[in-house]
Chain A
Amino acid sequence: DGGITQSPKYLFRKEGQNVTLSCEQNLNHDAMYWYRQDPGQGLRLIYYSQIVNDFQKGDIAEGYSVSREKKESFPLTVTSAQKNPTAFYLCASDFPGANVLTFGAGSRLTVL
Chain B
Amino acid sequence: GENVEQHPSTLSVQEGDSAVIKCTYSDSASNYFPWYKQELGKGPQLIIDIRSNVGEKKDQRIAVTLNKTAKHFSLHITETQPEDSAVYFCAASNSGAGSYQLTFGKGTKLSVIP
Is B truly associated with A?
A: yes
- Are A105 and B42 in contact, with the CB atoms below 8 A? yes
Chain A residues positioned under 8 Å from B100 (CB to CB): 31, 33, 45, 48, 50, 56, 58
- The listed residue (B32, B44, B98, B105) touching A103 by CB distance below 8 A is B44
State in angstroms the CA–CA spacing of A44 and B89 once bound together.
12
A residues less than 8 Å from B41 (CB atoms): 105-106
How long is the Cα–Cα vector from A40 to B105 in the complex, in angstroms? 10
* A: number of interface residues (CB 8 Å): 26
Q: Apart from A48-B99, A90-B43, A101-B36, list 19 A-B contacts with CB within 8 A.
A: A31-B99, A33-B99, A33-B100, A40-B106, A42-B89, A42-B103, A43-B44, A50-B100, A58-B100, A96-B98, A98-B99, A99-B49, A100-B46, A100-B49, A101-B46, A101-B99, A101-B102, A103-B45, A106-B41
Residues of B whose CB lies within 8 Å of any CB of A are 4, 6, 9, 32, 34, 36, 41-46, 49, 89, 93, 95-96, 98-100, 102-107
